[in-house]
Amino acid sequence: AFDLGLADFEKPKLSFADVGGMDEVKDAIRMKIIHPLQHADLFRAYNKKVGGGVLLYGPPGCGKTLLSKATAGEIKANFIALGLHQILDMWIGNSEKNMHEVFELARQHAPCILFFDEVDALAADRRDLRQSAGRNLINQFLSEMDGAQSDNDGVLILGATNAPWHIDPAFRRPGRFDRTLFVPPPDQPARAAIAEVMAKNRPIGELDPIALAKKTEGFSGADLKAVFDLATESVLEEAMKSGKVVPLNTKDLIKAAGRHKPTTKAW
């Protein structure tokens, strides 16, 4: 990944296998994004519309960014991510020009996923954010998304938000964010699947993913990552004493889970 000043740009190696759970969301993304790109002629033959954007919503830390990156990896596309601060920075100065350049960059690097994190920063249905400069930036965004001046062939737009009800309906029109997908907090089987993903790159003795999932009610994917990190730190301490790799076991993870406070509240 290298920093373009405005946006992060990379070609992710991740795939859906690196995202635990979310089977329904993955299927919806396959239908809306992956298949239309891979079978463009077939979709055209059935006059099935392709393009438009997908809005992912759900509680923080439950994998919206990870899933977007993995989607890029699945189709070997480039990935450009823009966060809240980068969007807000655009307010000041050359906002429309910057927005245009981000879309141009994506067009030049198609197939490309353009990911807007915290898209509500831009699309919030709030008057104070919609004055003068903000208004122009919003209009520029919508016209870029419509492909008003340049074709968006091979540019796939994903947005993420924790507050979809704040999104201005103008952003939801056909050809814009016309599909909304809920990325839920992981249920027990999903937490077990996430634990298996996280175990892949670490020395594991024995792992009982279901037992861990049972002890992590209300934990997000990000919380589970914190649990793995905490448990890793404690076995690393032991490992440093002995100078040998000490594998992680279910009990280490359950102990770490007891020390971590989950962030996800009821959704």
In the complex, the residues that contact ligand ATP under the rule CB under 6 A are 19-22, 60-66, 117, 160, 162, 194, 197, 221-222, 225
Report the distance separating Cα 164 and Cα 54, nearest Å: 12
Cβ distance to ligand ATP smaller for residue 60 or 247 = 60
Residue pair 118/161 in contact by the 8 Å Cβ criterion: yes
Structure tokens at 159: 């947005």
Cβ distance to ligand ATP smaller for residue 20 or 154 = 20
Across 10-37, b (16+ Cβ under 10 Å) vs e yields eebebebebbbbbeebbebbeebbbbbb
| Closest separation in Å from C-beta 49 to ligand ATP | 27
Cβ distance to ligand ATP smaller for residue 70 or 107 = 70
Cβ distance to ligand ATP smaller for residue 21 or 36 = 21
| Closest separation in Å from C-beta 19 to ligand ATP | 5
CA neighbor of 215 nearest in space, from 175, 169, 262, 254: 254
Cβ distance to ligand ATP smaller for residue 20 or 52 = 20
| Closest separation in Å from C-beta 68 to ligand ATP | 8
Write the CA distances from 139 to 26, 90, 143, 164, integer angstroms: 31, 13, 6, 19
Cβ distance to ligand ATP smaller for residue 19 or 105 = 19
Pairing of strands 78-82, 53-57: unpaired
| Closest separation in Å from C-beta 36 to ligand ATP | 23
CA angle, corner 196, sides to 191 and 200, nearest 5?
145
CA neighbor of 166 nearest in space, from 228, 201, 112, 120: 120
Angle separating helix axes 84-91 and 132-146, nearest 10 degrees: 120
DSSP-assigned letters across all residues of 130-163: GSHHHHHHHHHHHHHHHTSSS--TTEEEEEEES-
| Closest separation in Å from C-beta 98 to ligand ATP | 22
| Closest separation in Å from C-beta 191 to ligand ATP | 9
